[in-house]
Structure 1
Amino acid sequence: MTETGNRDPRLPWTTRTTNLAHFLTRNARRLGDRPAIIDARGTLTWSELDTRVSALAAAMRDRFGIKAGDRVLVQSPNNREITETMLACWRLGAVWVPSNYRQRPDEVAYLAQKSDVALMFCEQDFPDHATVCVEAAHKLTEVVCIGQGFGTPYDDLIAAHDGMPVSNADMDRDAPCWLFFTSGSTGRPKAVVLTHGQLTFTTLNHLNDLMPGTGPDDVSLVVAPLSHGAGMHQLVNIAAGAVSVLLPPGRFDPAVAWRLVQDHGVTNMFTVPTIVKMLTEHPSVDQFDHSSLRYIIYAGAPMYREDQKHALGKLGRVLVQYFGLGEVTGAITVLPPHDHHINDGPEARVGTCGFERTGLHVTIQNDSGAHLPPGQTGEICVAGPAVCAGYYMDDAANTKAFRDGWFLTGDLGHMEAEGYLFITGRSSDMYISGGSNVYPREIEELMLTHPALSEVAILGVPHKQWGEVGLAVCVCEAGKSVTGDEITALLKDSLAKYKLPQEYVFLDEMPKTGYGKITKKLVREALEARGVLPAK
C-alpha cells in the first residue's frame, strides 16, 4: 500500500482464500479409507463423506438452484447430515444457517425470515418448523426432509446425484460461509456473519492454542450441539483429519458418553461447564477408562471453582478453558491444561479465564474507549482476524458492538499484569445497590463453596431504599438443603454488606438454554412466571 492508502499497481492484489470444504478434499485424498464420522449407523470414511457431500452439493445446485451467497437453513439435532449440509454449502459457496433445534417453530421461523433463506433441511421430527419457515421466508418454497414424512427426502437426493463430482467454489477471504445466530440471552438472536478467511484463521488458532498436536490419530466425541460451538470444534477436527464420534440420539447420558470414550479411545471433546459437571459427578466416570483423553475443552461460561476442582480430581490435567463469543468464533482467551490447578495457591489464579489467544489483541476499556491499566474493571474488547464481519442486516447492532476497530464483548472484567483475564460478569448482569456496582459472579463463586449448593444465579431486583438488591436463585445438591440465613452467614465475612443477597429463591432445577448455559434472562423469566419477582 502507498502512503495515501491506494494500492501499489506493482504488487499482486488478491483476497483469495481456501474454501473451508477443501479440508474435506485433502482428507479424502490422503486419508480416504480412514473413518471421518462414527455414529449409531456405523462408520463413514473420508472418501465416503466427500462423495456424499458432492452428491448433496450437486442436488442443491441442480435441483434447487442454490448458488454462492444463498442462505441454507438447517433444523436438526446432531447427526451426520448436519456435517454434510455444512460442507456441501461451503463447497458451493453458499452460507450455512444452523438453528438451535430446541427452539420453537416460531423462533426458527424468525431465523428463516431474518436470513432470507433459499432452502431448508429439516429433520423428520420437526414438521411444524418446516411449515412455518416456508410461510416466513419468501424465497423458501421447498424443504428437504432428513428422514421421511414431508418435503423432499434427503436420502433420495443423495442417491439421485451419487457420483457427481463438484469442485470447491473459488472463495474470497471475506466471503460469508456461516450465519451464526447468537443465543438471544438479552433479546432476539442476532446473525453473526462468519467468513471463510476468518474461520480458516480460527481453525488454525484452535489447533495451536486449544489442542496442540491434534492429527489423524485423534478421536473427538461430539457432546454439544453442532449448530454452534461444537460445529466449530468439529471443523477443527476435520482440518486435523481426526474422526468425530456422535452420541446416540436422545437425552444426554453420561454413562453412554464415558462408554464411547473407552470404546473409541476418545482424545478430545468440546462442551460447556454444566455438562463437565454432569460427566464428572456421575458414577460412570469411575466405571470406564478415560485415560485416552488429552483435551476436554469447555466454554460458554466460566466454570465455578468448586466444579473445576472436582473435575480435575476425576480427570487430571486435561481441562482447557476458552473464553470466546460467537462473534469471535470462540477465540479470545485460553487457559491450557498446565494452568489448571487443583489447589488454591497463587499459581491457580482462581477465577481467571486465561490469557489472550495467538493473533488476538485483548484490552480492557472504559465507556469512552480508553485502555485501562492492570487491575481496573472495564469492558473486555478484542481485535484480530477471528473477529466476525459484523451482524447480518443489523446496522444498529454493528454500531453498538464495534468502536474504533475493536469488538465490544459486553463482558466486564480486569486483566492482571501478566495478561491473565478475569471476567466479572456481563455488563447487563451488573446492578447498582446504594450507588455501588455489584458484580454477581464474585458472590456466586463464594456461594458455591457451600456443600449443599449445586447451582446459583444472582439477579439485581428493584428495592425502594437501595435502588436494587441481590436476589439469589439456588438449586441444592440432591438430598441436601440450606437456608438463606445459612448462606448469608457464609458470605458476610467475605463480602461488603451491600453485596449480600437480600432474598433467596430455591428451585428444583435451574433454567438453561438449549446449550446447557445458565442465562439471567431465562432465570428472570422463570421467576416472573412464578410471580416471585418484586414489582419494578
Structure 2
Amino acid sequence: MTRDPRLPWSTRSVNLAYFLTRNARRLGARAAVIRGTEVLSWSALDDRVNALAAALRDRFGLGPGDRVLVHAQNGPQMIEVMLACWRMGAVWVPANVRQSPDEVAYLAQKADVTLMICDASGAAHAAACTAAAPGMRHVIAIGGGFGADYEAAVADHTGARVSDADVDRDTPAWLFFTSGSTGRPKAVVLTHGQLSFVVLNHLHDLMPGTGPADISLVVAPLSHGAGLHQLVNMAAGAASVLMPPGPLDPAVAWELVARHRVTNMFTVPTIVKMLTEDPAVDTHDHSSLRFVIYAGAPMYREDQKHALRKLGPVLVQYFGLGEVTGAITVLPREDHHPEDTPAALIGTCGFERTGMQVSIQDAAGAALAPLQTGEICVAGPAVCAGYDGDDAANAAAFRDGWFRTGDLGHMDAEGYLYITGRASDMYISGGSNVYPREIEELLLTHPALGEVAVLGARIPAGARSGWRSASACPAPPSLPRR
C-alpha cells in the first residue's frame, strides 16, 4: 500500500471491490447482474470474482499495481474482471470494443499492461497487443479459442477466497483512456479514493434515494461511463440488467424496461434520441423509470423537449470529462422543462456538483465575472490523479490547482454553467466569436430538420468573392436563455 512518507498517519482508503463484499454479505441471494435468463446473485458474483482474482494471482502471477487490459463486449465478465482486478490490487484498463487492433495495441503499450482479457472475437487484437507490449505475458479469452480459457481459469479456482487488497486513497484503480481528440489517447489515472467520492457524489446528485430495490439497464459500453454507472448502482445494492450482444435495439431495451421495472439508466444524447424516437417507446410500460441520465455530449434542446414529452420528468444531465469522472455539474429532473417558458433553463448543463468548484478563467488563469466567456476549470475530490507517465500533458492540464477542461463557457449569476464549445471549435467571423453549437441549436428549431452539424471548411482565396461574411448577414435571433 503506497503512502505519502511525509504523513505520519494512514491515508488508507476503502477498496472499491468492498462494495461487492458488503453486498454479498447483506444481499447475497438478491440479483446483481441479469442478462437474458442468466441471473447472478451478489453471492454468486462474489464467488466468481474471488475465483478470477485467485487465478490472476496464482496462475498468471499478477500482483498489486499490475495493469490488466480488457477488450470485450458488455457482459457479466466485464464486471467480474473489473472487480477481480480491484480485489487483488491490480489496475483495470478497459478499451473501447470498437477500436482496431492497432489502436488497442497502442493502449497496451502505453499502459504497460501485464495481461489482456478479451472475448472470442479479439484474436487479432490480442496478437497486435502481444507484439506491441513486451511486458504483456498472458492473454485470456472469454469463450476460448486462443490463449487461456476464461471459464476454465474461473472453474479451476472455484471456492478460493481472496481478501480485498489494502489500498491508499491515491492507489490507481482504473486507467481511463481519453478519446484522443487532440492526438493520441492519454491514460487518465482514477484512484480508489477518488472514485469512492465520485460514486457517493453520483448517488447524491444524480440518483438520490437509489437502493437495493432499484434496477438499472445498461445500454452503453461498460468500458466508459456506463462502467462507472454500474459501480454506482453496485454501491447502492441495485441490480444491473445487460442488453443482449450487438447493436442497441430500442424495442428490446423498452421490453426489458417493462419486464424488469427498470428505474434508471445511463445514456448519451444520441441514445436518448434513438430510444424516444422509436415506436416501441409507446408500446411498452416505462412508468417505473425515475432517472434517465445523459452525459458525454450536449443534448440539443429540441431532442430534450421530445424526450421529456415521451418519458416525463426523468431526465438528469451531467457534464464532466474522464479526467473528472463526470462530476462537474448536474442539471436535475426539476430543472428540465418540456416547454420554452421563462422558468426553463435553456442551454445550461447545470450547477456545480456537491463538493466540486467551477471557475471560468481567462488565458492567464484569472477568474472571470458571471456571463463572461472563458475556459471552464474545476477543482475538487473528483479530479483525477493526472495522466499516467505524461508530464507534458499534466503541465498543460493543471494550473494553480485547477484542472483545465479545454471547454469554453460562462456561468450566470446563480451559478448555472453554459458551455459554448471547445476552445479549438470557436471561430471568428466579421470580428465576432462564433460557436458552432449555437448555430446548430438555432437550425434545429426549424421543423424540417432532424439533425444538423456545423463543419469548418477552408475557402479558396479565389472563391471568397461569392461568399457573404457573417457581418454582412442579418443577425440570427439569440438563443433563449433563462
- Shorter-chain TM-score tier: over 0.9
Alignment pair present for 1:140 and 2:122 = no
Q: Equivalents in 2 of 1:454, 1:217: separation in Å?
A: 38
CA-CA distance at 1:433 after TM superposition: 2.3
Q: Which has the higher contact order (CA 8 A, sep 6+)?
A: 2
CA-CA distance at 1:64 after TM superposition: 1.0
Find the counterpart in structure 1 of residue 389 from structure 2. Answer: 393
CA-CA distance at 1:453 after TM superposition: 1.9
Find the counterpart in structure 1 of residue 351 from structure 2. Answer: 355
Percent of aligned positions that are identical: 70
Instruction: State which drifts further: 193-202 or 142-151.
Output: 142-151
Alignment pair present for 1:494 and 2:476 = yes
- Assess if the C-alpha contact under 8 Å between 2:328 and 2:356 holds in 1: yes
Write out aligned runs for 1:48-59 (5 A): 48-59=44-55
Letter of the 1:494 counterpart = P
Q: Equivalents in 1 of 2:247, 2:172: separation in Å?
A: 33
Segments of structure 1 that go 5 or more residues without pairing to the other structure are 1-5, 472-484, 497-536
Q: Equivalents in 2 of 1:135, 1:231: separation in Å?
A: 28
RMSD of aligned Cα (Å):
2.1
Letter of the 1:328 counterpart = V
Counterpart pick for 2:9 among 2, 7, 13: 13
Letter of the 1:236 counterpart = V
Find the counterpart in structure 1 of residue 93 from structure 2. Answer: 97
Q: Equivalents in 1 of 2:159, 2:474: separation in Å?
A: 69
CA-CA distance at 1:436 after TM superposition: 2.7
Alignment pair present for 1:323 and 2:305 = no
CA-CA distance at 1:468 after TM superposition: 11
Write out aligned runs for 1:362-511 (5 A): 362-463=358-459, 492=474, 494=476
CA-CA distance at 1:460 after TM superposition: 2.8
Counterpart pick for 1:34 among 11, 23, 30: 30
Letter of the 1:228 counterpart = H
Alignment pair present for 1:177 and 2:159 = no
Q: Deviations over 1:243-268 (max 9, x none)?
A: 00000011110000000000000000
- Assess if the C-alpha contact under 8 Å between 1:179 and 1:192 holds in 2: yes
Find the counterpart in structure 2 of residue 309 from structure 1. Answer: 305
Q: 1:467 to 1:241 in 2, by over 3 A?
A: farther
CA-CA distance at 1:467 after TM superposition: 13
Find the counterpart in structure 1 of residue 234 from structure 2. Answer: 238
- Assess if the C-alpha contact under 8 Å between 1:461 and 1:468 holds in 2: no
Letter of the 1:342 counterpart = P
- Assess if the C-alpha contact under 8 Å between 2:63 and 2:88 holds in 1: yes
Find the counterpart in structure 2 of residue 157 from structure 1. Answer: 153
- Assess if the C-alpha contact under 8 Å between 1:120 and 1:140 holds in 2: yes
Find the counterpart in structure 2 of residue 81 from structure 1. Answer: 77
Q: 1:113 to 1:266 in 2, by over 3 A?
A: same
Q: Deviations over 1:107-138 (max 9, x none)?
A: 00000000000000010011100100011111
Letter of the 1:449 counterpart = T
Q: Equivalents in 2 of 1:17, 1:251: separation in Å?
A: 38
Say how many residue pairs are matched: 471
Segments of structure 2 that go 5 or more residues without pairing to the other structure are none
- Assess if the C-alpha contact under 8 Å between 2:336 and 2:345 holds in 1: no
Alignment pair present for 1:300 and 2:282 = no
- Assess if the C-alpha contact under 8 Å between 1:432 and 1:468 holds in 2: no
Letter of the 2:48 counterpart = R
Q: Equivalents in 1 of 2:74, 2:268: separation in Å?
A: 16
Consecutive aligned runs of 4 or more in structure 1 exceeding 6 Å deviation = 465-469
Q: Deviations over 1:326-374 (max 9, x none)?
A: 0000000000000001111222121000000000000100000000000
Find the counterpart in structure 1 of residue 278 from structure 2. Answer: 282
CA-CA distance at 1:169 after TM superposition: 0.3
Instruction: State which drifts further: 391-400 or 218-227.
Output: 391-400
Q: Equivalents in 2 of 1:376, 1:293: separation in Å?
A: 38
- Assess if the C-alpha contact under 8 Å between 1:433 and 1:466 holds in 2: no
Q: Deviations over 1:47-104 (max 9, x none)?
A: 0000000000000001111111110000001000000000000001100000001000
Q: 1:104 to 1:7 in 2, by over 3 A?
A: closer
Q: Equivalents in 2 of 1:152, 1:41: separation in Å?
A: 27
Letter of the 2:369 counterpart = P
Q: 1:93 to 1:373 in 2, by over 3 A?
A: same
Q: Equivalents in 1 of 2:104, 2:395: separation in Å?
A: 25
Alignment pair present for 1:271 and 2:267 = yes
- Assess if the C-alpha contact under 8 Å between 2:67 and 2:114 holds in 1: yes
- Assess if the C-alpha contact under 8 Å between 1:413 and 1:425 holds in 2: yes
Letter of the 2:218 counterpart = V
- Assess if the C-alpha contact under 8 Å between 2:12 and 2:169 holds in 1: yes
Q: Equivalents in 2 of 1:386, 1:259: separation in Å?
A: 35
* TM-score normalised by length of structure 2: 0.95
Q: Deviations over 1:447-476 (max 9, x none)?
A: 11122222222123334679999x9xxxxx
Instruction: State which drifts further: 85-94 or 139-148.
Output: 139-148
Counterpart pick for 1:344 among 340, 344, 358: 340
Q: Deviations over 1:409-431 (max 9, x none)?
A: 01000000000000001111112
Q: Equivalents in 2 of 1:220, 1:303: separation in Å?
A: 22
Letter of the 2:138 counterpart = E
